[in-house]
């Protein structure tokens, strides 16, 4: 079956530092690559996504980069703030199917 | 718009009891999904419905059944609850087409405990 791995599983940074989370997937037919943020006790919410015909996408302090050849994509958060503390999930879309496969998550802690 | 709503918010069951989790969306989305999230883990797909009248198994369908009642509503049924089904259950919906056509919108979740 499809395999999705996220690294690291936990990440602790000082406020103002950058954070990078990497997601590796196995399905070469995947064509949609989102990142979701889940705060404690809340529902997951989409923060940024990218399609397979684009290598990078930015939205203010967050960016996603895609390497289709190597089958991985990464979330980059710059100038981290305490409110960035949450669990982040990658969820590549399975090629040809109408569904996402979620990674196990990365718990990001931003310390003031 | 309320988005995706789920009922109940919390539920405690005894082993062997049955119950139905309800989900509704008012965004006119075609696709709907049921996930479970165990502590410290990601979301695992139980069942999904690509459009009204169709349902398909996800990663962990055993012990569950679903009904796509109409375009708005997608219910999840536990026929004989087991302690291993203790989890948080999220419903989600997805539109089609456009730049954000792949985004899934999640409901607030149902926290289920099976004793």
Closest CA of chain B from A108, distance in Å? 13
> Which pLDDT tens digit goes with each residue over B10-37?
999 999 999 999 999 999 999 999 999 9
Q: Which of B42, B50, B103 has the CB atom closest to A104's CB atom?
A: B42
> Which of B43, B52, B57 is the best substitution to test chain A (most A C-beta atoms within 10 A)?
B43
Give the residue, B96 or B73, on which the prediction is more confident: B73
* H helices present in chain B, as ranges: none
pLDDT score of B100: 53
Which residues of B fall within a CB distance of 8 Å from A102?
35, 42-45
> Which pLDDT tens digit goes with each residue over A52-76?
777 899 999 999 999 999 999 999 9
Rounded CA Rg of chain A = 13
B31 touches chain A (CB under 8 A): yes
With an 8 Å Cβ cutoff, are A98 and B50 in contact?
A: yes
pLDDT score of B97: 59
Residue A23: which of A58, A84, A78, A64 has the closest Cα?
Answer: A64
**Would you say residue B109 has pLDDT above 90?**
yes
In chain B, whose CA is at the least distance from the CA of A99? B48
**Would you say residue A2 has pLDDT above 90?**
no
Closest CA of chain B from A77, distance in Å? 20
Cβ atoms of B86 and B78 within 8 Å: the answer is no
Gap between the Cα atoms of B23 and A33, Å rounded: 26
């Amino acid at each position: 079956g499809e395999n999705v791995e996220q690294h690291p599983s936990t990440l602790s940074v000082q406020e103002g530092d950058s954070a990078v989370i990497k997601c590796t997937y196995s399905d070469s037919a995947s064509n949609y690559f989102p990142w979701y943020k889940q705060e404690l006790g809340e529902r997951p919410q989409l923060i940024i996504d990218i399609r397979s015909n684009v290598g990078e996408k930015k939205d203010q302090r967050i960016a996603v980069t895609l390497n289709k050849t190597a089958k991985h994509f990464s979330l980059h958060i710059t100038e981290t703030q305490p409110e960035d503390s949450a669990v982040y999930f990658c969820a590549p879309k399975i090629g040809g199917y109408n569904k996402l496969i979620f990674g196990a998550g990365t718990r990001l802690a931003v310390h003031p | 718009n309320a988005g995706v709503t789920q009922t109940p918010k919390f539920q405690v069951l005894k082993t062997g009891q049955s119950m139905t989790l309800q989900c509704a969306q008012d965004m006119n989305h075609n696709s709907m999904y049921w996930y479970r999230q165990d502590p410290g883990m990601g979301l695992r797909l139980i069942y999904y419905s690509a459009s009204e009248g169709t349902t398909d198994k996800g990663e962990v369908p055993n012990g569950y059944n679903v009904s796509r009642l109409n375009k708005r509503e997608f219910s999840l049924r536990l026929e004989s609850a087991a302690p291993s089904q203790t989890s948080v259950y999220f419903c989600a919906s997805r539109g089609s087409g456009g730049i954000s056509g792949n985004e899934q919108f999640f409901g607030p979740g149902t926290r289920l405990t099976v004793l």
